Structure 1
Amino acid sequence: MGGGRRGAGPRVCDNSVARELWHMPIATNWSGSLILASLTGAFGSSFLYGYNLSVVNAPAGYIKKFYNETWERRYGFSVDEGTLTLLWSITVSIFAIGGLVGAIIVTPIVKFFGRKCTLVLNNVFAVAAALLMSLSLLAGSFEMLILGRVIMGVDAGISLSALPMYLSEISPKEIRGSLGQVTAIFICIGVFTGQVLGLPEIFGQESRWPFLFGAIIVPSLVQAVILPFLPESPRYLLLEKHNRSKAEKAFQRFLGKDDVSHEIEEVLAESRVQRNTKLVSIVQLLRTRAVRWQIVTVVVTMGCYQLCGLNAIWYYTNNIFSESGINRETIPYVTLSTGAVETLAAVFSGLVIERLGRKPLLIGGFGLMVVFFAVLTVSLTLQNTVHWLPYLSIFCILAIIASFCIGPGGIPFVLTGEFFQQSQRPAAFMIAGTVNWLSNFAVGLLFPFIQAGLQTYCFLVFAGICFAGATYLFFVLPETKNKTFHEISQAFAKRNKVALEMQEMNHYPGERKSSEEQESNFASSAGNGKPKKGLCT
């Protein structure tokens, strides 16, 4: 694992020319519309996902008390501890069930409404969920809180597929990875915001915890107001709606220049092929040998993304710190540091991803998590024998979070957009989303019982998953930085046991272009050796 990271580093650091060239397109490709679209889209989407991961942590004690009081009022006796733990686990993990539903229904929605409009309409779910959860205490119904978590999960399931799809299709190739990391950065900011608002001085009180859920309305309204005035994905407009004039205008706004003829011609080359190609279903995608290992890699990265243990830390931070021997009054403020570290690490990853590449950051992140999970296990096991070990536990948790955000926290979403062509991408995101949310549900539901059964050794389970993921990625994942879809497919061709010529017949009918012509300014645009002519209007 370390060798993979060292192998990528020197090539970048020693090449000063390449480093300067990397900076040049960054300065010219970040247009105002591109920045606004990415920030607005992420604020009303991935931000809310992160917020809902952490928002249940601070008021957990008050919500359990609300559950117990409601149960006693209805049935005349207090709920037993096992039932209360189950109710709470369902409240936490049911968010993932809603996310799974959202991931399953997102494909026809983005096909019919488009990427941007899907994000806008998705705010209906967020507002409805916020009202249900914030009014549950007033109504004396914990079922409203659970139902709100389900609906909020649907919102997150849709947005975590639609947002990376949108960002990958509007971003120039040179900043594709950095723009893709906006999703991860806003997840971290959402987690941090949930922790801040959950402080006792703000909403972390028995009478105020419903406001934590009511605050969900704010990002939703901001996105619903601003995003309609920004362009739809130009690739969606041209390849699926066959509207050249709107696609040209979208290109012009996102690229910040008037002459977009080169970009239009490159996408029209794909349009000629896709004119008679329907959207690929999940079954069709799974049967396509040319993308078999891409699918396996997406499943592995998304599975490890959820099963590596980070969400267990977010869901049950207070319990973990309490087990570490931290004073209960100090826990909310120590927890705050985890969100700050996550945000800083995600920003760092966004700044270096186009220099170091995807593979070193993924392998390095998972590898460091293995080390710190092992140290955390030792620290928690021996904490009663050495007085300073609780502080080592805190350090390990912060280090695990930072290691996750450096690579595994956002790159899986970027890879899903890079591995597949336009007609395959919605099905690919559905597969990724299904794995993502099923794994999320499993962690949220099972971790309290794993923790109770294995006690301080519970984190070794996550260490094993991280090690397995890093090992797989070291041997299978090719570097995708600054590569077109054609070049990425070529890297997988031998492993898929499909001749390159056959892949080109399947995906790139027509004349082959030179490698320079194949370079496209868009995340999923392949410059795939297709003829330039062929307008789908």
Structure 2
Amino acid sequence: MKHLQSALANWEGSSRKLDWSCSLIVASLVGAFGSSFLYGYNLSVVNAPAPYIKAFYNESWERRHGHPTDPDTLTLLWSVTVSIFAIGGLVGTLIVKLIGRVLGRKYTLLVNNGFAISAALLMACSLQAGTFEMLIVGRFIMGVDGGIALSALPMYLSEISPKEIRGSLGQVTAIFICVGVFTGQVLGLPELLGKESTWPYLFGVIAVPAVVQLVSLPFLPESPRYLLLEKHDQVAAEQAFRTFLGKEDVSRELEEVLAERRVQRNVRLVSVLELLMSPFVRWQVGTVVITMACYQLCGLNAIWFYTNSIFGKAGIPPEKIPYITLSTGGIEILAAVFSGLVIERLGRRPLLIGGFGLMTLFFGILTATLTLQDHAPWVPYLSIVCILAIIASFCSGPGGIPFILTGEFFQQSQRPAAFIVAGTVNWLSNFAVGLLFPFIQKSLDTYCFLVFAAICLTGAVYFYFVLPETKNRTYAEISQAFAKRNKAFPPEEKIDLAVTDDKMIGKPEPDSSTLDSYVKNGVV
């Protein structure tokens, strides 16, 4: 009975500690709805109206030149329309540090809505204007929006959340990417906007989340870490902590950031080159690069390529395949929500390693079932199960954790440059998959999945041996976990280690009231 009472007391204490404030929930939902949701939506929205968009390109070309476009030119135009989104994303990633330094996290997200709204207007009006270039330029601008959003949003969520729920809050980014993909699939159905007369409205919808974020986010505070460490505004930072944490006593959180400010008092924001050359974060940078590369190169795009043909082989009528495909979007959302619920219990490391490990297993099985799918009537159904299992494995860990780790690995002065590195790898890998996958598929056919299985296995092995657990750890503690592998201790880690040694030999610690008074006076 005593053990039960103790367990209940511990559970109640942890529940109180993990309470989410209303402001924290609103900030995560509004921030993700106007950012990562749009990224996911633009990944899937071009699939359903593709035949109508190609017909529009052909009509516009014939109107200008007096003859239809040849098939090769039409294929090139469509490829540019799809792939230019990744090029815009790379541009957005490269400029986010410059914008963020001047505007901060919150106002970067707000200004980014201007890109989304202008892109929505261009693409929605392209058919009426009879100018297909407007659609291509709009896709590029949406890519810029996505590049900025996937850097600024994880930084903002990472900096406003207490470390106890930092993983769950960060997973909101991945959940809304999945919701965006699913929304694009639903609105693209013929009964809704996936018709020849209404496909431009699919792109006009983009303006809705942007406007919602534009009118909601100004009522929420800026990142308290940004206010204190970069703007040196302790009063505003303290008020932001109170708003996001939903409590008056924020001395512990303020003390943690003040300790970081004391170390970084004379440290400016580092450049990308300085980050890459720094011996103190060598393994952090390498881990982020490998994580983001595996995120894009793990083969999920190949799964979308084969989905319709596999469903057809299973005997599903062609007119019903778009509706069955919605199940993949639903699986994505459920797996991402599951990951958000368990990430603070299981940790980042098991979800990431387990996700890539399961993807390796199911890619191997899928290769066998696709090779043998004509040998038995039940084999295509096993292929469908493998597809859903691969999607669930990806979204339960690898689909969202890379963005969380990028925010957790680095100190405030290094974080913008780290997100530029992560975003550059992300978008270049995205572009490489779109460029190379048709050739891989043509040469290897169904055996192309073995390439992706090898990539997933490589990622799982690397994370098993290198990745430390970051759950419920401060930024300084995560940095210390990498210090031994880096064989270099930054100055702040030496200070932390010295403090730890003092505690170990029994030196007295200041009582809480004294510490609170120090914090109020800006002294730690």
Please report the TM-score for the alignment, with normalisation by the length of structure 1.
0.88
Letter in 1 for 2:234: R
Residue aligned with 1:57, SS:
coil
Q: Which residue of 2 aligns with 1:356?
A: 346
The yes-or-no answer on 1:374 pairing with 2:364 is yes
Which has the higher mean CA deviation after the structures are superposed, 307-316 or 236-245? 307-316
Task: Give distance in 1, aligned partners of 2:79 and 2:14.
Answer: 47
Task: Give distance in 1, aligned partners of 2:125 and 2:409.
Answer: 43
Could you tell me which of 293, 298, 303 is aligned with 1:303?
293
Query: Structure 1 residues 22, 165: closer, same or farther in 2, change over 3 A?
Result: farther
Cα offset for 1:317?
A: 5.0
The yes-or-no answer on 1:459 pairing with 2:449 is yes
Letter in 2 for 1:371: L
Task: Give distance in 1, aligned partners of 2:95 and 2:101.
Answer: 11
Task: Give distance in 2, aligned partners of 1:437 and 1:516.
Answer: 46
Q: Deviations over 1:338-382 (max 9, x none)?
A: 110000000000001111111111111111111222222222233
Q: Deviations over 1:266-307 (max 9, x none)?
A: 222222222211101111111111110110000000000011
The yes-or-no answer on 1:53 pairing with 2:4 is no
The yes-or-no answer on 1:104 pairing with 2:104 is no
Which has the higher mean CA deviation after the structures are superposed, 76-85 or 346-355? 76-85
Cα offset for 1:398?
A: 1.2
Letter in 1 for 2:438: P
Could you tell me which of 390, 395, 413 is aligned with 1:405?
395
Cα offset for 1:309?
A: 1.6
Query: Structure 1 residues 348, 220: closer, same or farther in 2, change over 3 A?
Result: same
Could you tell me which of 229, 237, 240 is aligned with 1:239?
229
Could you tell me which of 102, 106, 114 is aligned with 1:116?
106
Letter in 2 for 1:114: G
The yes-or-no answer on 1:204 pairing with 2:166 is no
Task: Give distance in 2, aligned partners of 1:298 and 1:148.
Answer: 30
The yes-or-no answer on 1:388 pairing with 2:378 is yes
Q: Deviations over 1:190-216 (max 9, x none)?
A: 111111111111011111111111100
Question: Does the CA-based 8 Å contact 1:373-1:396 persist in structure 2?
Answer: yes
Task: Give distance in 1, aligned partners of 2:469 and 2:43.
Answer: 30
Q: Which residue of 2 aligns with 1:20?
A: 11
Question: Does the CA-based 8 Å contact 2:158-2:407 persist in structure 1?
Answer: yes
Letter in 2 for 1:350: G
Task: Give distance in 1, aligned partners of 2:30 and 2:118.
Answer: 20
Q: Which residue of 2 aligns with 1:159?
A: 149
Cα offset for 1:27?
A: 4.3
Question: Does the CA-based 8 Å contact 1:116-1:233 persist in structure 2?
Answer: yes
Task: Give distance in 1, aligned partners of 2:81 and 2:310.
Answer: 19
Residue aligned with 1:458, SS:
helix
User: Structure 1 segments of 4 or more deviating over 6 A?
Assistant: 15-19, 531-534
Question: Does the CA-based 8 Å contact 2:360-2:453 persist in structure 1?
Answer: yes
Letter in 1 for 2:229: L
Task: Give distance in 1, aligned partners of 2:13 and 2:398.
Answer: 23
Letter in 2 for 1:154: V
Task: Give distance in 1, aligned partners of 2:123 and 2:142.
Answer: 10
Cα offset for 1:508?
A: 6.0
The yes-or-no answer on 1:38 pairing with 2:28 is yes
The yes-or-no answer on 1:261 pairing with 2:251 is yes
Task: Give distance in 2, aligned partners of 1:278 and 1:121.
Answer: 24
Task: Give distance in 2, aligned partners of 1:511 and 1:313.
Answer: 48
Q: Which residue of 2 aligns with 1:138?
A: 128
Query: Structure 1 residues 457, 81: closer, same or farther in 2, change over 3 A?
Result: farther
Question: Where in structure 2 are there 5+ consecutive unaligned residues?
Answer: 1-5, 504-517
Which has the higher mean CA deviation after the structures are superposed, 79-88 or 58-67? 79-88
Task: Give distance in 2, aligned partners of 1:285 and 1:21.
Answer: 42
Cα offset for 1:483?
A: 1.5
The yes-or-no answer on 1:67 pairing with 2:57 is yes
Letter in 2 for 1:308: C
Question: Does the CA-based 8 Å contact 1:38-1:182 persist in structure 2?
Answer: yes
Question: Does the CA-based 8 Å contact 1:53-1:314 persist in structure 2?
Answer: no
Q: Which residue of 1 aligns with 2:325?
A: 335
Task: Give distance in 1, aligned partners of 2:263 and 2:414.
Answer: 13
Query: Structure 1 residues 229, 112: closer, same or farther in 2, change over 3 A?
Result: same
Query: Structure 1 residues 418, 510: closer, same or farther in 2, change over 3 A?
Result: closer
Could you tell me which of 156, 179, 187 is aligned with 1:189?
179
Q: Which residue of 1 aligns with 2:464?
A: 474
Cα offset for 1:535?
A: 4.7
Residue aligned with 2:394, SS:
helix
Query: Structure 1 residues 324, 84: closer, same or farther in 2, change over 3 A?
Result: farther
Residue aligned with 1:122, SS:
helix
Cα offset for 1:514?
A: 4.6
Query: Structure 1 residues 276, 138: closer, same or farther in 2, change over 3 A?
Result: same
Q: Which residue of 2 aligns with 1:125?
A: 115
Cα offset for 1:402?
A: 0.3
Task: Give distance in 1, aligned partners of 2:303 and 2:427.
Answer: 17
Letter in 2 for 1:280: V
Question: Does the CA-based 8 Å contact 1:268-1:534 persist in structure 2?
Answer: no
Residue aligned with 2:221, SS:
coil
Q: Deviations over 1:100-126 (max 9, x none)?
A: 001110011111100001001100000
Task: Give distance in 2, aligned partners of 1:320 and 1:214.
Answer: 32
Cα offset for 1:534?
A: 8.6
The yes-or-no answer on 1:293 pairing with 2:283 is yes
Task: Give distance in 2, aligned partners of 1:72 and 1:460.
Answer: 43
Query: Structure 1 residues 461, 74: closer, same or farther in 2, change over 3 A?
Result: farther
Question: Does the CA-based 8 Å contact 1:311-1:440 persist in structure 2?
Answer: no
Query: Structure 1 residues 402, 414: closer, same or farther in 2, change over 3 A?
Result: same
Identical columns (%): 71
Cα offset for 1:320?
A: 6.4
Residue aligned with 1:238, SS:
helix
Query: Structure 1 residues 86, 386: closer, same or farther in 2, change over 3 A?
Result: farther
Task: Give distance in 1, aligned partners of 2:303 and 2:64.
Answer: 33
Cα offset for 1:19?
A: 8.1
Cα offset for 1:24?
A: 1.7
Could you tell me which of 200, 207, 219 is aligned with 1:229?
219
Letter in 2 for 1:158: I
Q: Greater Rg, structure 1 or structure 2?
A: 2
Please report the TM-score for the alignment, with normalisation by the length of structure 2.
0.90
Cα offset for 1:447?
A: 2.4
Query: Structure 1 residues 21, 494: closer, same or farther in 2, change over 3 A?
Result: farther
Cα offset for 1:17?
A: 7.9
Could you tell me which of 415, 433, 442 is aligned with 1:425?
415
Task: Give distance in 2, aligned partners of 1:256 and 1:89.
Answer: 49
Which has the higher mean CA deviation after the structures are superposed, 264-273 or 213-222? 264-273
Which has the higher mean CA deviation after the structures are superposed, 148-157 or 271-280? 271-280
Query: Structure 1 residues 67, 251: closer, same or farther in 2, change over 3 A?
Result: same
Q: Which residue of 1 aligns with 2:506?
A: none
Structural RMSD (CA): 2.5
Question: Does the CA-based 8 Å contact 2:18-2:165 persist in structure 1?
Answer: no
